[in-house]
Amino acid sequence: MKNMLILGCALLLAATGCKRETQTTQPTIDATAKAPESAIVTKAKGIVLPEFKLDGVTLSVALQRLSITAKQNDPERKGVNFMVKRPYVAAAIPKITLDFKDVTLEEATERVAKAAGIRVSAEDTAFVFDPK
């Protein structure tokens, strides 16, 4: 009986052209909203490398040079940390050759990862390179 009453009310509302206002209890989610950027990414975007060149070096050497260059160009002279997951796998990565000017540390980090064919992610305290 109750279901018939609800159905009757719905039909009546539809027939009279009245719109039934409903309250939503679920929050709306903005699909275009992004998660807040991590502090390490923000810092890396603020460090500009006037020049960075690698000529046939291992991932380990590439990250050492990137770390040194980041510290030299960081206004705080601290740079950021880099870490390699599974370094025994990273040893098999081909040599890296890159040459670019006026890029952010974030972009340089992504380019090193791409040249090495591995993933890089921004963790709380370091950029982590992960051989697949």
- Looking up residue 48, the CATH number of its domain turns out to be 3.55.50.30
Residue 67 lies in a domain: yes
Residue 73 lies in a domain: yes
pLDDT per position as a tens digit, 50-60: 999 999 999 99
Residue 65 lies in a domain: yes
Q: Is residue 112 within 8 Å of residue 96, measured between CB atoms?
A: yes
Rounded to two decimals, the pTM is: 0.72
Stronger pLDDT, 16 or 102, i.e. the higher one: 102
Mean pLDDT of the chain: 82
Residue 122 lies in a domain: yes
Residue 66 lies in a domain: yes
Domain with 95 in it: 39-130
Could you give the number of structural domains in the chain?
A: 1
Residue 103 lies in a domain: yes
Q: Is residue 110 within 8 Å of residue 120, measured between CB atoms?
A: yes
Residue 116 lies in a domain: yes
pLDDT per position as a tens digit, 83-119: 999 988 888 999 999 999 999 999 999 999 999 999 9
Measured distance CA(132)–CA(124) in Å, rounded: 21
Q: Is residue 129 within 8 Å of residue 118, measured between CB atoms?
A: yes
Residue 23 lies in a domain: no
Asked if residue 26 has pLDDT above 50, the reply is no
Asked if residue 127 has pLDDT above 90, the reply is yes
What the block records as the tokens of 16 is: 């009279």
